[in-house]
Chain A
Amino acid sequence: MSTSRHALIVTIAVVVLSIALVLFFVNVPVVPKAAATQAIPVDNLFVLMFSIASVFFSIVVVVMLYSVIVFRSRPGDEEDGPGIRGISWLEITWSIIPLVIVMALAVYGGLALGSMVSSQPQEMEVKVVSAQWSWQFEYPQYGITSSELHLPVNQPVLLKLNALDVVHSFWVPEFRIKQDAVPGIETVLRITPNQEGAYTVYCAELCGLLHAYMTGPVVVASQAEFDEWIREQQEID
Chain B
Amino acid sequence: MNTNHTDDTRRDDLPDTLRWQLRAMRRDEAPDRDLWGGIAERIQVQPRQAAPQRPRWIAPVAMAATLVFAVGLVGLWRTGAEGPANPGPANAQRDTLVQAEAQGMRRQYQAAMIELGSGRPPAELQPAFDELDRNASLILDALAHDPNSRLLLEQLRRTYARRLALAQRVAYA
A and B, one complex?
no
> What is the interface of chain B, defined by CB distance below 8 A to chain A?
none
